[in-house]
Amino acid sequence: MKKISGSTFYFKKLFPTIWFGFIAFFFVISITTGAAGASVMFLVVPIIMAGFGYFFFRKFVWDLADEVYDCGDFLEFRRGQKTQRVSLNEIINIDYSHMSSPERVVIHTRQSGAIGKELAFCPPMRFHLFSKSPLVRDLIERVDAARRT
């Protein structure tokens, strides 16, 4: 059993806390200093930023699995208290976006499980950002081989 996912603590916990904390701080400061009375934009912009942040994090970050293990002929996904096993021959497609932060690997399965039908995770950090991850390339080849047998 080999862990194939990277750490998601920064993306799922730390960065959203900093984002919403800064917005709350800016909102409170604008109200207490009276800047909100001078211009309504001091109230509108933080609300828009909070809404944008919430939908961005919900779509691209909070759906990431906490840990993904490669167990040979199946993958084991863990997100919170939920665990889902996915056999390699149940995988329909593997999407990989390497020019984003965080990098995302989304695995589409035939059947829905405890976590869902689309399982996303962050591969481990690496230095060659402009090339396809060898982990993803290997996973695609193994899924293709599992489908043929």
Tens digit of pLDDT for each residue in 20-38? 999 999 888 888 887 766 6
State the chain's mean pLDDT as an integer: 89
Q: Looking at residue 120, what is its pLDDT?
A: 93
Q: Looking at residue 77, what is its pLDDT?
A: 95
Which amino acid, 22?
Answer: F
Q: Looking at residue 37, what is its pLDDT?
A: 67
Confidence of residue 106 (pLDDT cuts 50, 70, 90): very high
For 41, other C-beta atoms within 10 Å of its C-beta total 12
Angle at the Cα of 104 from the Cα atoms of 102 and 113, rounded to 5 degrees: 130
What per-residue string of b and e applies to 92-103 under the rule 16 or more CB within 10 Å gives b?
eeeebebeeebb
pLDDT exceeds cutoff 80 at 99: no
Q: Residue 80 class from Cβ within 10 Å (0-12 exposed, 13-18 middle, 19+ buried)?
A: exposed
Tens digits of residue pLDDT in 2-18: 999 888 899 999 999 99
What residues does 83 pair with on adjacent strands? 78
Class of domain 67-148: mainly beta
